[in-house]
Amino acid sequence: MKELIINSIDEFKAVISSHDYHQWIYRGQNNYEYQLESSLFRAFRRNEKIRSATKMKRVHLIREKYEKEMIESFQKSCHLFLTTFPNMKDKFDWLSLMQHYGAPTRLLDFSLSPYVALYFSMYEATEEAAVYCINYSEIKKIDSSYYNNIDQKYSELMKTEKSIDQTLLVPFEPKFINERLFAQQGVFLIPNTLNFSHHEILENYENSDFYLKLKINITQFAEIQKELLKMNIRASSVYPGFEGFCKSFNTIGIIPIGNIRSLSELIIDMN
């Protein structure tokens, strides 16, 4: 994977502008060493390690079967907690809803905005961070050569027993959009297998020109965050409502208090 080091907001802008950024999607991660992995992939790896450590009987684990049971259980019980939810036919929207409430899924969040991704790369980061950039147009083009429509995608991706000729990442933009997804300009990439991470699948593509990784130098975090504030990229804009207000306090102290007229200017959009 091609990697570039970013030492300033101007360098970031230059890299973004050198690509047709409207055709790309972005994901920020607050540790440069982290690879692209879904919460479900990490859950399987973690729990299989626990099972192995406790010397439980070894079994052939079909991950898709566990996923299927989890989705069906969520669909049967969510009415106890929620008043609105997707149409039963909109299968991927159910995965999006599960993701929103913290259930492990095969979805991985990306943003159409490079600056939202840059914000997330530094959120609660204590070391070098990363922004992953993927040519969304190219991914969709490859995807369309394998699948005809959304129904075929779901049936093929979610099969419990299947043979795979090519590992793929399938793009998805949900119809059932929540406030957070809207604010973060979110889209998802879905793998057609649960046995490999997003990162492993991405690096298996023949053409490596449509993705890159940007390393965000920690020495520039404060300066970059000041520039993002000017663009109104802050907790209160990417996390809607009261949650965003509360999360805004995490950045207190990074930007000198003398650089702002009042604390509220740092926390909320005064417009």
DSSP string, 217-250: -GGGHHHHHHHHHHTT-SHHHHS-HHHHHHHGGG
Q: Is the pLDDT of residue 268 over 50?
A: no
Instruction: Please count the other Cβ atoms lying within 10 Å of the Cβ belonging to residue 179.
Output: 13
Q: Which of 33-37, 39-43, 171-175, 238-242 has the lowest mean pLDDT?
A: 238-242
- Provide the CB-side half-sphere exposure for 22 (13 A, CA): 0
Ramachandran region, residue 241 (left: φ > 0; alpha: ψ -120 to 50; beta: rest): left
Q: What is the pLDDT of residue 139?
A: 92
Q: What percent of the chain has pLDDT over 90?
A: 48
218 and 227 in contact (C-beta within 8 Å)? no
| Residue of higher predicted confidence among 131 and 267 | 131
Instruction: Please count the other Cβ atoms lying within 10 Å of the Cβ belonging to residue 135.
Output: 19
Q: What is the pLDDT of residue 161?
A: 72
> Mean pLDDT throughout 129-149?
91
Using pLDDT thresholds of 50, 70 and 90, give the confidence band for residue 271. very low
Q: What is the pTM of this model?
A: 0.86
Task: Find, among 97, 67, 55, the residue nearest to 188 by Cα.
Answer: 97
Q: Is the pLDDT of residue 260 over 70?
A: no
Q: Is the pLDDT of residue 70 over 90?
A: yes
| CA-based radius of gyration for the chain | 20
| Residue of higher predicted confidence among 186 and 183 | 186
Task: Find, among 95, 62, 123, 74, the residue nearest to 181 by Cα.
Answer: 95
Q: How high is the mean pLDDT of the chain?
A: 85
**Distance in angstroms (rounded) separating the CA atoms of residues 107 and 117:** 16
Q: Is the pLDDT of residue 256 over 80?
A: no
Instruction: Please count the other Cβ atoms lying within 10 Å of the Cβ belonging to residue 267.
Output: 20
Strand-pairing partners, residue 134, are 25, 211
